[in-house]
Chains A and B, each alone.
Chain A
Amino acid sequence: MASEISERPARSERPALAGTADNGLKIVVVGGFGVGKTTMVRSVSEIRPLNTEETMTKAGEAVDDLDGVRTKTATTVAFDFGRITLDAHNVLYLFGAPGQERFWFLWDRLFAGTLGAVVLVDTRRLADSWYAIDRLEHHGTPFVVACNDFGGPPHTEAQVREALDLPPEVPLIRCDARSRASSKTVLITLVEHLARLQKAPELTP
């Protein structure tokens, strides 16, 4: 088994963090299949996005019984992530997470303590985002909505807001997930929103 590990391709082109790094932070990008989550993570990440997974049994508790995996139905959720070193101490991890139903069973286990979320939407498929928005509200996770520009017919902000039933205090912005500057603006919009919520906690969903 030792050889199995050493023979794995070196994924460690990953630059090491500074020895002083001591505070990991999380932001989650949620969205339907093909909406550009990984693209957004890639455009701002200092590492090539990595992929990992978490498993849980159907009972709803996170894997409480690996022994029984053969007899129980295990659900696996894969997600990818990137990394942004903010300063000598703070490292931001950006997670691209699928919005489908089974994923939300793992939310608390994986994303407790998340600063906030970006709901990435394709305005041609707005309904894909309803469930994610509902779940974020349920979990009390602050979020912004970013419309990834796929070049479709432009919708007005009011149209999108109405279609998503979005409260006025939730920021809604357009973005191009391929663009580093644009994705960076989305993240800044989220963190500014968080700072506002902190001053006015009654706005927290």
Chain B
Amino acid sequence: MSRPGRDDSPDRLYTLTGGRSRSGSDAFDLVTLVVTESDPVPGMQSEHVAILRMCRFPTAVVEIAAELGLPVTVVRILLTDLHDTGRVSARHPRSAHRLPDPDILEQVLVGLRNL
């Protein structure tokens, strides 16, 4: 299987993240929805530009990773950059721990039954 990112050398990933390996926090869940808050500007790292274009509508972290062909870890670091500078906002999942509240489960059931 060959696609961008998958077989890239660690060197490229190193460059993308400026050598960082942690996103500072685990704030970005796989399904955190990311929304662009400001347009890309000239000179911006191309992956950042791609993310800002992609997230004009809410887009989950895992979708960004799939579209960019980059590991989730790397995408989290890129997102932290953008978030720290206010270029994106993050809508985190409401039920990140253990069983969600009954209202959410009911909403999921209704949504599934309506499929």
| A5 to B102 Cα, complex, angstroms | 42
- Contact call B112/A191, Cβ cutoff below 8 A: yes
Evaluate whether A93 and B4 lie within 8 angstroms (CB atoms) in the complex, with A11-B66, A50-B66, A87-B111 already known: no
B90-115 CB contacts (< 8 Å) to partner A? 91, 93-97, 99-100, 102, 104-113, 115
Q: Does A113 contact B (CB under 8 A)?
A: yes
Q: Looking across the interface, which residue of chain B has its beta carbon closest to that of A72?
A: B10
- Contact call B60/A93, Cβ cutoff below 8 A: yes
- Contact call A11/B67, Cβ cutoff below 8 A: yes
- Contact call B111/A4, Cβ cutoff below 8 A: no
Q: Does B86 contact A (CB under 8 A)?
A: no
B27-67 CB contacts (< 8 Å) to partner A? 29-33, 46-47, 49-50, 54, 56-60, 62-63, 65-67
Q: Does A159 contact B (CB under 8 A)?
A: no
Q: Looking across the interface, which residue of chain A has its beta carbon closest to that of B54?
A: A12
- Contact call B99/A198, Cβ cutoff below 8 A: yes
Main SS of chain A's interface residues? mixed
Q: Does A23 contact B (CB under 8 A)?
A: yes
- Contact call A4/B4, Cβ cutoff below 8 A: yes
- Contact call A188/B113, Cβ cutoff below 8 A: yes
- Contact call B109/A92, Cβ cutoff below 8 A: no
- Contact call B46/A90, Cβ cutoff below 8 A: no
- Contact call B95/A90, Cβ cutoff below 8 A: no
Q: Does B24 contact A (CB under 8 A)?
A: no
- Of the A-B pairs whose beta carbons lie under 8 Å apart in the complex, a sample of 23, sorted by A's number, is A17-B57, A17-B59, A19-B57, A21-B33, A21-B91, A23-B94, A24-B32, A51-B66, A54-B72, A63-B21, A63-B73, A66-B21, A83-B60, A87-B107, A92-B108, A93-B30, A142-B99, A187-B112, A188-B109, A188-B113, A194-B100, A194-B105, A201-B99
Interface residues of A (CB under 8 A from B): 1-2, 4-5, 8, 11-12, 14, 16-19, 21-26, 44, 50-55, 62-67, 69-70, 74, 76, 81, 83-87, 89-93, 95, 109-113, 115, 142, 180, 184, 187-188, 191-192, 194-195, 197-198, 201, 204
Interface residues of B (CB under 8 A from A): 4, 6, 10, 13-14, 17, 19-22, 26, 29-33, 46-47, 49-50, 54, 56-60, 62-63, 65-69, 71-73, 91, 93-97, 99-100, 102, 104-113, 115
